[in-house]
């Protein structure tokens, strides 16, 4: 991987970058990791040399200084007031706390109260390889499978884990729709495609793909609407806080039962959101911009009235 960051947008060649292998070799040392952890736990930063050495518990000042200097400039910054993190140093500690490097916990399946959008049976959450998935054990339909670092399981009940997972998935898709990759902060491209490989059991799906690290997210079209103001207001008018509603409990978020393709050149897709005796119809363009909303009586209510 090159350290040349020249390119579009006025980026200049990196003069003081180090190769990834060298960067990992710098932190592959117990004392240096202890220094980073001591910085993290400090009540205030910057931290003086003497205070940092005291927290790490190393008596040999010269040896401690050697390890600290190995971290300086790339993981730690030295100012007149003491030592503080550079962003890379924070990333190292946060990854350790997340448990991604050294923890491989097991989690018993969690039976959920919410039901499958396809068959109506109760859903189940499972955890494997740092991925949390919500599936129907009866018909096999997936309601989402996303990365969930081991640290997210600590000191949480099953209910709290699922609440955190719900918010994390919302955040991931919100970032992706805004063009930001949650993995590397690279540019995320969004497209609507026909789901020819049936990976989600949909006729049409949304693909988010990072142009830098190639990370991908896939979902039903409706998932984009969880934080859309008209949709949030629609639920609020019916006494429901959409912000805390599990996304997997909303059929318009995990299936295309309520999705209609109006055009595919260019793309125009309408999502009909039924709630009580009303229906909110939201039309999106090929970039998932909302171009029209219509609030009307639900089809079921109209049919009942006609009868």
Q: Is residue 214 domain-resident?
A: no
Per the DSSP assignment, residues forming a β-bridge with 250 are: none
Instruction: Report the pLDDT value the prediction gives residue 2, as an integer from 0 to 100.
Output: 38
Measured distance CA(281)–CA(289) in Å, rounded: 14
Mean pLDDT of the chain: 87
* Per-residue model confidence (pLDDT) at position 117: 93
Give residue for tokens 């991987």. Answer: 1
Q: How confident is the model at residue 4 (pLDDT cuts 50, 70, 90)?
A: very low
In this structure, is residue 201 part of a structural domain? no
The sign of the torsion formed by the CA atoms of 260, 261, 263, 266 equals positive
Domain boundary among 98, 130, 145: 98
pLDDT exceeds cutoff 80 at 306 = no
Label residues 9-47 b or e (16+ Cβ within 10 Å = b). eeeeeeeeeeeeeeeeebbeeebbbbbbbbbbebeeebb
Asked if residue 294 is part of any domain, the answer here is yes
Mean pLDDT over residues 180-193, rounded?
91
Within-domain flag for 139: no
Say how far apart CA 209 and CA 21 lie, in whole Å: 26
pLDDT of residue 195: 75
| 210 domain residue, yes or no | no
**With contact defined as beta carbons under 8 Å apart, do 221 and 250 qualify?**
no
Residue pLDDT, tens place only, 271-291: 999 999 999 999 999 989 999
Residue 112 belongs to some domain of the structure: no
- The per-residue pLDDT for 202 is 81
Residue 44 per-residue DSSP state: S
pLDDT confidence of residue 27 = 80
What would the mean pLDDT of 129-139 be, rounded to a whole number?
Answer: 93
The residue out of 41, 70, 98 marking a domain boundary is 98
- State yes or no: pLDDT of 12 exceeds 80: no
Q: What is the predicted pLDDT for the residue at 11?
A: 47
Query: Which pLDDT value is given to residue 91?
Result: 79
Residue 24 lies in a domain: yes
What confidence category does residue 164 fall into, taking pLDDT thresholds of 50, 70 and 90? very high
Dihedral angle computed from the Cα positions of residues 15, 19, 20 and 25, in that order, rounded to the nearest 10 degrees? -120
What CATH number is given to the structural domain containing 75?
1.10.10.10
Domain total of the chain:
2
Rounded Cα–Cα distance for residues 202 and 186 (Å): 27
State which residues form the domain around 71. 8-98
pLDDT score for 129: 85
> What confidence tier does 1 reach under pLDDT thresholds 50, 70, 90?
very low
| pLDDT band of 213, cuts 50, 70, 90 | confident
186 found inside a domain: no
Which residue is it, tokens 């007031």?
Answer: 81
pLDDT(41) > 60: yes
Query: Do 168 and 190 meet the contact criterion of CB atoms below 8 Å apart?
Result: no
Q: What is the pLDDT of residue 236?
A: 97
């Amino acid at each position: 991987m090159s350290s040349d960051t020249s390119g579009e947008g006025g980026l200049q060649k990196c003069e003081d970058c180090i190769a990834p292998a060298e960067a990992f070799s710098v932190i592959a040392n117990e004392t240096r990791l202890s220094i980073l952890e001591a910085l993290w736990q400090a009540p205030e930063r910057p931290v003086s040399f003497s205070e940092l050495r005291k927290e790490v518990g190393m008596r040999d000042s010269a040896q401690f200084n050697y390890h600290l200097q190995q971290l300086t400039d790339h993981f730690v910054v030295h100012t007149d007031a003491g030592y503080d993190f550079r962003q890379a140093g924070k990333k190292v500690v946060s990854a350790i706390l997340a448990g991604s490097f050294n923890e491989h916990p097991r989690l018993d399946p969690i039976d959920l109260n919410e039901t499958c959008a396809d068959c109506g049976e109760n859903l189940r959450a499972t955890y494997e390889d740092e991925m949390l998935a919500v599936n129907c054990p009866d018909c096999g339909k997936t309601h989402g499978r996303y990365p969930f670092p081991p640290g997210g399981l600590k000191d949480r009940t099953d209910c709290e884990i699922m609440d955190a997972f719900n918010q994390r998935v919302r955040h991931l898709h919100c970032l992706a729709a805004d063009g930001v990759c949650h993995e590397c902060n690279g540019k995320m491209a969004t497209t609507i495609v026909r789901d020819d490989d049936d990976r989600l059991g949909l006729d049409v799906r949304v693909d988010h793909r990072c142009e830098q690290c190639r990370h991908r997210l896939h979902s039903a079209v409706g998932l984009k609407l969880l934080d859309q103001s008209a949709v949030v207001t629609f639920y609020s008018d019916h006494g429901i806080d959409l912000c805390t509603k599990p996304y997997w409990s909303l059929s318009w978020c995990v299936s295309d039962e309520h999705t209609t393709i109006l055009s595919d050149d260019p793309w125009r897709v309408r999502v009909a959101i039924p709630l009580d005796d009303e229906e909110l119809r939201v039309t999106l363009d090929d970039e998932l911009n909302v171009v029209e909303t219509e609030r009307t009586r639900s089809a079921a209510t109209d049919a009942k009235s006609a009868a």
